[in-house]
Amino acid sequence: MIIETPFSKESGVLCLKGKECMAEKLDPKEIVSFKELLMANSIQVDAVAPLLIEKGIITKEEFFAKLKEVKSQYNKNIIADD
């Protein structure tokens, strides 16, 4: 599985893959810092992963195997982008 983000490095514009990108002026009141974004993402993962495990939807082993797989793919994408 290849994970791609909808963010264009060249322009810094958020867009849908295969769609025309249009820059929108952002409301300064709605802009969050990288730290806030990272924290929100971490909180979501820290809540969802244990819940899936507790409900028996996935096992810890499956979760950690997927983490390893996704990390490897991210690393490949980073190397390819350099």
* pLDDT tens by residue, 8-65: 444 445 555 555 666 677 677 778 888 999 999 999 999 999 999 999 999 999 999 9
Domain range annotation of the chain: 28-81
CA distance 29 to 31: 6
pTM above 0.85, yes or no: no
CA distance 3 to 7: 12
